[in-house]
Chain A
Amino acid sequence: MRYVMVIDTRRCVGCMDCVVACKTENNVPEGYNRDWITEEVRGAYPQPRLEIRSERCNHCARPPCVSCCPTGASRVHRGGVVLVAHRQCIGCKACLAACPYDARFTHPDGYADKCTFCHHRVDQGQLPACVSVCPTHCMHFGDLDNPESEVSRLLRSRAHHALLPEAGCQPHVFYLT
């Protein structure tokens, strides 16, 4: 099993509902967030090109945050989900520095925090909070190892990219273009 997120940038309007839902679902403290919106503009007025993306931890297949963790608090779990065991984390910030996506932050309680793919919901057969609320239905979540899953079908049929492939971490959040 390999969980991935597939986000359709054609449908996304950057409304931040994903960010708000993550914050309420996961009690993310004020001033912090586990996902965020990036607006990328190329070219000049009057014909710029605009891509809006909902970004988060990429749950990489080769996660540098895991390999650099001195205590083993950052680990890869079922489905390739990268998680931090809060009690084992000593807050050394090595993982914050190692992540090329700037996906991690130090929680006010002292541990490294980030997106969990809402594994607590996924384990109960629900979608991650961000996916479940998106009013544009631009976000998809599922198992890439299952060729019949919606995410597999989307990645087969639509052009897509991932972020910073050159960093070599094998990110597992994909953007349909």
Chain B
Amino acid sequence: MPELSRRRFLKISSASIVTAGAAGSSLAALARTSGATGESGLRQVPTFCDICFWKCGCIATVREGRLWKLEGNPLDPLCRGRLCPRGTGGVGALTDPDRLRTPLIRTQERGAEKWKEATWEEALTHIAEKMKKIAATHGPEAMALFSHGIGGTFLKHTLKAFGSPNIAAPSFAQCRGPRDVGFRLTFGEDIGSPERTDIENAQCLVLIGSHLGENMHNTQVQEFATAVGRGASLIVVDPRFSVAAGKAKYYLPIKPGTDLALILAWMNVLVTEKLYDVEYVTKHGHGFEAFVAALAPWTPEWAYPETGINPALIRATAREMARYRPATLVHPGRHTNWYGDDAQRSRALALLNALLGSWGRKGGFYAPSTMAVPDYPYPEYPKAKRPKVDNPDHKYRFAHETLTTGIREATLTGQPYPIKGWLVYATNLLQALPSEAETIRAIQQLDLLVVIDVVPSETAGWADVVLPESTYLERHDELNVEVFKEPFVALRQPVIASPHDQKPNWWIARQLAVKLGLESYYPWKDIEEYLGARVKEAGLDFAELKKHGLIRGPREPLYFEDGAPAEFGTPSGKIEFYSNQLQQAGFDPVPKFTRPEAGPPGSFRLLFGRAPVHTFSRTHTNRVLSDMMSENAVWVNAAAARRLGLKSGDRVRLRNQDGVLSHAVGVKATERIRPDCVYLVHGFGHTARGLRHAFGKGASDAQLITRYKVDPLMGGTAMNVNFVTLEPAERA
């Protein structure tokens, strides 16, 4: 039976949009009113995308002064001439009627979303005065910056010049941190972004919870399709039958939270049956015997009741991986904050790759390279008087980046020292951090909250000052000096002028610095001057960069066999099968499995993930993308739904273990998920009134994530530890 057809769904949602369109908000009407400059003919501008952080090279076509379309830049090694749907739909970012237009200063209590419009002069003076006051009373370290993406570069510079080291992005503690820690502990190096995975050459690809194809990181998905098209063996482990699962040779319907048990059992099979890469392990491994001894108890029979995966299937898949090694890639994933054992699970995953000999090998993990582009010669930053606030006494021993949630904690408690101001750039903390309530309580402790963004997010709703940023299509940004298979430098440059009083981040950061008396940190007046200087210093031609959007550098060896150095930045200089570092810090030197706590009887574990047409909670008012998906649905196993008397399309609310109730959301009763969990695409269920087009549509997983478990190694916040029940929603 076909499930709900996408087009029918679109047709249903279009009914309401057409009515709204009577008020003149149809896409065509918008296009007519925006960007009309009297310019005629066609012109094309190469730049790079910012709908997500992947930074694909794109070419914008402007027709009669209006942006017509965005296409992939064929020269760009990341997108290879083809953007993802979000990149193609970036056109809608420009014409989004819900965009912030002018600076805003709060007029009522925080969170009331009541502001007065202000000039840039007023807004920046207000911010600078508050920042100076905070610095005078509490020290400059009491100002923190939360930032996401390349656009944060100059704000970071301003804050460092101001004297604060407290700069964090949710991409560590809420996303890829555990993975990077697990791999560092094992290989002495991070996975990086873009991930150094050689998917296109993999003969066997193992995805554990990674939903490539739904998670639309362009290069990853293109290479995934190449591998699938080539007939690579695909093993997918997921409580949900993902799009990737639909292409798999083996699908393992794992019990949520037990991935580590499965990985241990796989390693047990590889070791017991001597299927691992003996030569590689002997040459590069440290502590292998102790590792083997520690693995002994974790047989497939042991893992069976934990994971629900049949021992025969565990053995068959382990042998499948061994058959194709070293071109077997066990994908490290990206968002890896799941159950609280995440760094150790990621380490186990790294060890599994080590057994297969895939690190440094074709079809496994390649050695990335980059072009030498010297930093701009800024004056030295003042020395911060106090260390970063986020990780007192280095409690999370293996955190190598700043913890957002650590800064939040310090803001709440005033310990180890108070944080009194937050600058928040391009990240919606209320949807990105677990426990909205804690974030709001922390905000209440602040003397200053500034949000700099393109759309009025939930977090902007609590701000004292909101600064409207130009979209990526209207601004320059820092150069993208990519660390990738093929090194290159890419330029973001404006395609079209901002329609209202929006400003680019570099201008905002610079003006703020000037107001703070830190002008000496900005020897350049204009971004082109800055970019030109960097490009020149690198021996590249700025005119060429502007013309093509990027300049590629020479390729370097990717694999050990081609001469990439087989060096490991671990204490032993080898791949650490047994980790003395962990042992000394009181952690398991070889990962061990802990059974996840079960939820209340009758409840479902809440899982969340991505849809290919949206990024985080940032794209839901982009009319092109919202036209593809304007609402999420709660995925419920078909049999479980039947038991509850629910069918697809029914409206329900999700209630979590702490009584928090979601917005009403449609049910997707499906054979594509286990009966013990439900699934939401992240980012929906907006509560910010300014996001008029997205307000109240769908359910927010973030709102239901009231609990989280902190990874003891690195302070990441695991979020798949919440449970919900479903109740019928009253008809609207």
Given contacts A17-B84, A33-B627, contact A41 B6 (CB under 8 A): no
Identify A11's interface contact among B13, B28, B229, CB under 8 A: B229
Q: Does A49 contact B (CB under 8 A)?
A: yes
B246 surroundings in chain A (CB, below 8 A): 49-52
Identify B228's interface contact among A10, A105, A135, CB under 8 A: A10
A39 surroundings in chain B (CB, below 8 A): 2-6
Taking a contact as CB atoms under 8 Å apart, the answer to whether A10 and B247 are in contact is yes
Closest to A136 in B: B225
Closest to A55 in B: B7
Taking a contact as CB atoms under 8 Å apart, the answer to whether A10 and B241 are in contact is no
Most A Cβ at <10 Å: residue of B11, B79, B88: B88
Q: What 1/0 mask marks residues of chain B from 627 to 659 whose CB sits below 8 Å from any chain A CB?
A: 111000000011100000000000000000000
Identify A10's interface contact among B2, B218, B229, CB under 8 A: B229
Q: What 1/0 mask marks residues of chain A from 22 to 64 whose CB sits below 8 Å from any chain B CB?
A: 0111010111110011111111111111111001000000000
> How distant is the Cα of A48 from the Cα of B245 in the complex, in angstroms?
10
Taking a contact as CB atoms under 8 Å apart, the answer to whether B612 and A48 are in contact is no
B141-182 residues at the A interface, CB under 8 angstroms: none
Q: Does A68 contact B (CB under 8 A)?
A: no
> How distant is the Cα of A10 from the Cα of B214 in the complex, in angstroms?
15
Least CB distance from B86 to A in Å reads 8
Least CB distance from B619 to A in Å reads 12
Q: Does A137 contact B (CB under 8 A)?
A: yes
A48 surroundings in chain B (CB, below 8 A): 241, 671-672
Identify A31's interface contact among B13, B83, B225, B675, CB under 8 A: B13
Q: Does B445 contact A (CB under 8 A)?
A: no
A111-153 residues at the B interface, CB under 8 angstroms: 132-138
> How distant is the Cα of A14 from the Cα of B6 in the complex, in angstroms?
10
> How distant is the Cα of A32 from the Cα of B13 in the complex, in angstroms?
10
Q: Does A90 contact B (CB under 8 A)?
A: no
Closest to B219 in A: A135
Taking a contact as CB atoms under 8 Å apart, the answer to whether A47 and B251 are in contact is yes
Taking a contact as CB atoms under 8 Å apart, the answer to whether A15 and B84 are in contact is yes
Q: Does A169 contact B (CB under 8 A)?
A: no
A13 surroundings in chain B (CB, below 8 A): 212-214, 221, 224-225, 243-244, 612
Q: Does A82 contact B (CB under 8 A)?
A: no
Taking a contact as CB atoms under 8 Å apart, the answer to whether B28 and A27 are in contact is yes
Taking a contact as CB atoms under 8 Å apart, the answer to whether B69 and A135 are in contact is no
Q: What 1/0 mask marks residues of chain B from 225 to 239 whose CB sits below 8 Å from any chain A CB?
A: 110110000000000
> How distant is the Cα of A79 from the Cα of B26 in the complex, in angstroms?
34
Taking a contact as CB atoms under 8 Å apart, the answer to whether A135 and B222 are in contact is yes
Taking a contact as CB atoms under 8 Å apart, the answer to whether B6 and A37 are in contact is yes
B2 surroundings in chain A (CB, below 8 A): 38-41
Identify A135's interface contact among B7, B89, B225, B625, CB under 8 A: B225
Q: Does B469 contact A (CB under 8 A)?
A: no
Q: What 1/0 mask marks residues of chain A from 85 to 106 whose CB sits below 8 Å from any chain B CB?
A: 0000000000000000010010
A138 surroundings in chain B (CB, below 8 A): 225
B1-40 residues at the A interface, CB under 8 angstroms: 1-7, 10-11, 13-14, 17-18, 21, 25-28, 31
> How distant is the Cα of A51 from the Cα of B246 in the complex, in angstroms?
7
Closest to A11 in B: B225
Given contacts A50-B245, A50-B246, contact A29 B27 (CB under 8 A): yes
Please list 16 pairs of residues, one from A and one from B, whose beta carbons are closer than 8 Å in the complex, sorted by A's number. Answer: A10-B229, A13-B225, A15-B612, A20-B88, A21-B69, A24-B70, A24-B88, A30-B627, A36-B6, A37-B7, A45-B671, A45-B675, A52-B246, A108-B26, A135-B225, A137-B82
Taking a contact as CB atoms under 8 Å apart, the answer to whether A30 and B21 are in contact is yes
Q: Does B72 contact A (CB under 8 A)?
A: yes
Least CB distance from B224 to A in Å reads 8
Taking a contact as CB atoms under 8 Å apart, the answer to whether A15 and B613 are in contact is yes
Taking a contact as CB atoms under 8 Å apart, the answer to whether B18 and A19 are in contact is no
Taking a contact as CB atoms under 8 Å apart, the answer to whether A30 and B26 are in contact is yes
> How distant is the Cα of A42 from the Cα of B624 in the complex, in angstroms?
31
> How distant is the Cα of A44 from the Cα of B253 in the complex, in angstroms?
12
Q: Does A16 contact B (CB under 8 A)?
A: yes
Taking a contact as CB atoms under 8 Å apart, the answer to whether A17 and B69 are in contact is no
Hey, which bits of chain B sit against chain A, CB under 8 A? 1-7, 10-11, 13-14, 17-18, 21, 25-28, 31, 68-72, 79, 82-85, 88-89, 91, 212-214, 216, 218, 221-222, 224-226, 228-229, 241, 243-247, 251, 253, 612-613, 623-625, 627-629, 637-639, 670-675
Closest to B640 in A: A45
Additional 14 contacts, C-beta under 8 A, given A31-B17, A45-B672, A49-B246: A14-B612, A17-B85, A20-B89, A30-B26, A32-B14, A38-B2, A41-B1, A42-B1, A44-B671, A133-B88, A135-B218, A136-B213, A137-B225, A138-B225
> How distant is the Cα of A133 from the Cα of B69 in the complex, in angstroms?
11
> How distant is the Cα of A15 from the Cα of B614 in the complex, in angstroms?
10
B253 surroundings in chain A (CB, below 8 A): 45-46
> How distant is the Cα of A51 from the Cα of B628 in the complex, in angstroms?
19
Closest to B626 in A: A30
B244 surroundings in chain A (CB, below 8 A): 13
B28 surroundings in chain A (CB, below 8 A): 27, 29-30
Taking a contact as CB atoms under 8 Å apart, the answer to whether A30 and B17 are in contact is yes
> How distant is the Cα of A6 from the Cα of B192 in the complex, in angstroms?
36
Most B Cβ at <10 Å: residue of A37, A46, A138: A46
Closest to A19 in B: B628
B91 surroundings in chain A (CB, below 8 A): 24
Given contacts A11-B228, A24-B68, A47-B251, contact A135 B27 (CB under 8 A): no
Least CB distance from A111 to B in Å reads 15
Taking a contact as CB atoms under 8 Å apart, the answer to whether A45 and B674 are in contact is yes
Closest to B71 in A: A133
List the 8 closest A-B pairs by CB distance, nearest first: A13-B213, A50-B246, A36-B7, A31-B14, A136-B225, A15-B612, A46-B253, A30-B27
Least CB distance from B436 to A in Å reads 30
Taking a contact as CB atoms under 8 Å apart, the answer to whether A24 and B241 are in contact is no
> How distant is the Cα of A102 from the Cα of B11 in the complex, in angstroms?
11
Identify A40's interface contact among B3, B10, B216, CB under 8 A: B3
Least CB distance from B17 to A in Å reads 4
A21 surroundings in chain B (CB, below 8 A): 69, 88
> How distant is the Cα of A23 from the Cα of B14 in the complex, in angstroms?
14
Most B Cβ at <10 Å: residue of A23, A30, A47, A132: A30
Least CB distance from A72 to B in Å reads 27
Taking a contact as CB atoms under 8 Å apart, the answer to whether A135 and B82 are in contact is yes
Closest to B4 in A: A39
A42 surroundings in chain B (CB, below 8 A): 1
B17 surroundings in chain A (CB, below 8 A): 30-31
A137 surroundings in chain B (CB, below 8 A): 82, 222, 225-226, 229
Taking a contact as CB atoms under 8 Å apart, the answer to whether A33 and B10 are in contact is yes
Closest to A28 in B: B27
> How distant is the Cα of A137 from the Cα of B225 in the complex, in angstroms?
8
Taking a contact as CB atoms under 8 Å apart, the answer to whether A24 and B69 are in contact is yes
Taking a contact as CB atoms under 8 Å apart, the answer to whether B1 and A30 are in contact is no
Closest to A48 in B: B671
Taking a contact as CB atoms under 8 Å apart, the answer to whether B3 and A41 are in contact is yes
B82 surroundings in chain A (CB, below 8 A): 17, 132-135, 137
Taking a contact as CB atoms under 8 Å apart, the answer to whether A20 and B628 are in contact is yes
A33 surroundings in chain B (CB, below 8 A): 7, 10, 627
Identify A20's interface contact among B79, B225, B613, CB under 8 A: B613
> How distant is the Cα of A47 from the Cα of B310 in the complex, in angstroms?
14
> How distant is the Cα of A21 from the Cα of B91 in the complex, in angstroms?
10
Least CB distance from B96 to A in Å reads 12
> How distant is the Cα of A42 from the Cα of B672 in the complex, in angstroms?
10
Taking a contact as CB atoms under 8 Å apart, the answer to whether B625 and A14 are in contact is no
Closest to B83 in A: A133
Given contacts A31-B627, A45-B637, A135-B82, contact A38 B6 (CB under 8 A): yes
A50 surroundings in chain B (CB, below 8 A): 241, 243, 245-246, 672
B624 surroundings in chain A (CB, below 8 A): 20, 23-24, 30
B72 surroundings in chain A (CB, below 8 A): 133
B637 surroundings in chain A (CB, below 8 A): 45
Closest to A46 in B: B253
